[in-house]
Amino acid sequence: MRSFEALTPLLYGPMWTFLCVLSRLGPMLTLMPPIQGATIPMRVKVLLVLMVALVMTPIVLEFSTPLPSDLPDLAIGLIKELCLGLLFGSAVLIISTSLQVGGQVISSLASMDIAQSADPTTEESVTVISQMFSWMAMALFLTLGGHRYVIGACLDSFETYPAGGVLAEGYWLLHLHELLGHSVSVGLRAAAPAAIALLLANFVTALIGRTLPQLNILAVGFNINILMMLVVLACTIASIGWVFQDELADWVRMTTNLFPSPRRTV
């Protein structure tokens, strides 16, 4: 009986750390591409989060706070961990949807808003170009090692905010707002070549319509826009990867400022 009582603190400590890691890591992984898609079964998501949390728990055990003495403090600690995970998961979701904004801009200028299909990742109707850009962002995110950045940032966050010791910071929302604005600007940068070409095509189509009123300018202009969009995308689609790579580097810098590690601030 005494030996069991002696082992009780040893069991409670790792269990408390595991619950904190699970609460913080869960939203991060479930909002990370391609795991956030509806095509991934919920059982697979839960199993993946549990496995990663089990691996990370021994690493962050030294940064853990003592087990709270009462149930309300324990619940508040887990809620804070969950909020921090949701904040970081939102940052991951913003970067993964940045190129989708550019695809939406191109589809609007090319008059392809009616050409929509069901997106299996969000279960919503999106334009074809926007869905293509979304899949491209997902592939680039994994190719450039975005998933490793997410895990690394999560580990660094435990040095700043130990398990169970999360403190709400006022600059969190400021960094998230900055990241959101940067994501929109990156989407516009990716869509800029096609957008400029489509604006010029619309201008030329308008001149043709004024010069030849008897011409069915609606049918001709729609075909010109589609052809111009395909040609420009074929010529500039490789540069979108460079734009997204620069964005990922800026995202790593912003998340580093969001969770400053003591080893980097010394």
Condensed to tens digits (0 to 9), the pLDDT of residues 199-245 reads: 888 888 888 878 777 777 777 777 888 888 888 888 888 888 787 77
Domain that holds residue 206: 2-265
What pLDDT is recorded for position 266?
36
The contacts of residue 182 (CB under 8 Å, 6+ apart) are 247, 250, 251, 254
In the chain, where do the E strands start and end?
A: 116-119, 124-127
Judge if the upstream peptide bond of residue 9 is cis by omega within 30 degrees of 0: no
- Of 171, 217, 226, nearest to 198 (Cα)? 226
What pLDDT is recorded for position 218?
73
pLDDT beneath 50, residues of the chain: 1-7, 262-266
Q: What is the largest CA-CA distance in the chain?
A: 98
The contacts of residue 22 (CB under 8 Å, 6+ apart) are 49, 50, 53
Cα→Cα distances 195→4, 125, 130, 199, 221, Å: 69, 22, 14, 6, 15
- SS3 category, 84: helix
What pLDDT is recorded for position 169?
67
Whether the CA torsion 70, 58, 254, 181 is positive or negative: it is negative
What pLDDT is recorded for position 262?
44
- The answer to whether the beta carbons of residues 65 and 232 sit under 8 Å apart is no
Indicate whether this model's pTM tops 0.95. no
The contacts of residue 143 (CB under 8 Å, 6+ apart) are none
**How far, in Å, CA of 191 to CA of 138, rounded?**
17
CA 181 centroid distance within chain: 14
- The answer to whether the beta carbons of residues 238 and 136 sit under 8 Å apart is no
Tally the domains of the chain.
1
**How far, in Å, CA of 30 to CA of 86, rounded?**
10
